A and B are shown apart, each in its own frame.
Chain A
Amino acid sequence: MVAIQSPVPGTFYTQASPEEPMFKSAGDAVAAGDTIGLVEVMKTFIEVKAEATGTFKGYVAGDGAAVTAGEVLAELED
């Protein structure tokens, strides 16, 4: 299991916009560098990227959740 953590505090989003699908769904293949979500802070959207390759297990933080730096946003299975 690999945890993907938020680099900054802010608000987490699982979609690029309300009309778009979620970045990842359970069972999706994830490559290192894939964007799995966005964190908004200081009028900026920061892409959260997977640092490892694996299979997407699911989001831990919900769409629109307030998150802190280091908080686990999603998990991958090796």
Chain B
Amino acid sequence: MSLKIVQPGLSTSIQDLGRPGFFHLGIPIGGAMDRFALRCANMLVGNPEGAAGLEVVFMGPQIEFTRDALVAVTGADLPAKVDGEPRDGWTSFEVKAGQTLSFDFLKSGARAYIAISGGIDTPPALGSRSTYPIGALGGVEGRNIAAGDVIPLGEADLIEAGQTVPADLRRMPGNSAELRVLPGLYWHRLTEKAQQGFFDDDWTVALEADRMGYRFKGGSALEFVDREQPFGAGADPSNIVDGCYSYGSIQVPGGLEPIVLHRDAVSGGGYFTLGAIISADMDLIGQLQPHTPVKFVKVDMDQALAARKARKKMLAEVRAHLG
């Protein structure tokens, strides 16, 4: 009734759809960075969409199964193998008790999601099994998986193997990305030249890109509109009097390198945020490798809502297809 972790990979964590509702207390929303991919993986193996699975970053784990299970790997193109035999991504396959799931080198994307029939059944914390290592919440005793861990699985009714998400309904990352931005509360702090430059410049994903935030580099330093800094904001023009941060908000410490806050981000602080990546593009960020070229694209609220609607439609199509 469990998984034995032989090798954990680089940074493999148990994730579900997160624990919304505590961000105002400083507990991040957590959950899979590419939630669409996790939902698809769960549907393929007959789990509820929000069941806990494994989020794999860059390098796959090696896992021995102690019971028969149905497994699906979605998200990044990280080729799966069962006892050394290749298996297709975005397609459910059987793993028998005693067999080992392992992976080849990552081909594209950054994060793969492994769903196992029955779901991972570690104890939830604040309503979620998602791992938040800094707060020691969820996961395996509040941490990522490690070699030697034995991870419990829930009860499952085995459905038929071989179901697949059609290629046109998979969201695959390309060699470059466009991230849509809705300018926000502090947009007026930038000069017009800096506002335009942010969208004109070519950025790349920096090495400091993880579940807390994705940093981008390569664009020009931002210029701020002169002002007398308010009491409590400090001397740096990229500082504000402490405020709330949202999921997807873009802060630029020192005006130098934008950081997009992601699932495990802090909930507030003293950096101005120029706007936010729209919700429809947040999954995509989780699939960006370091050094990927990125353009930020300005949108308005109507465009952001239309994009969200399009993403919901895509998910509904997957649900209809997998019935």
Interface residues, chain A, with chain B CB atoms under 8 Å away: 5, 7-11, 40-44, 46, 66, 68-70
Contacts and interface: CB of A to CB of B under 8 A. Distances in A.
B155 interface: no
A11 B289 CA distance: 11
B106 A70 contact: yes
Q: What are the 4 A-B residue pairs with the smallest beta carbon separation, nearest first?
A: A70-B105, A69-B106, A8-B58, A66-B291
Contacts of B209: 42
B280 interface: no
Nearest to B104: A70
A9 B10 CA distance: 11
B178 interface: no
Contact of A42 (B105, B107, B208, B291): B208
Given A5-B105, A68-B289, A43 B10 contact: no
Contacts of B137: none
B11 interface: yes
Contacts of B208: 42-43
Task: Pick the most buried of A5, A11, A68, A69: most chain B CB atoms within 10 A of its CB.
Answer: A69
Contacts of B59: 7-8, 69
B215 to A, nearest CB: 10
B218 interface: no
Given A9-B291, A42-B10, 14 more contacts: A5-B105, A7-B10, A7-B58, A8-B106, A9-B106, A9-B290, A10-B290, A11-B290, A41-B207, A42-B209, A43-B207, A43-B208, A44-B11, A68-B289
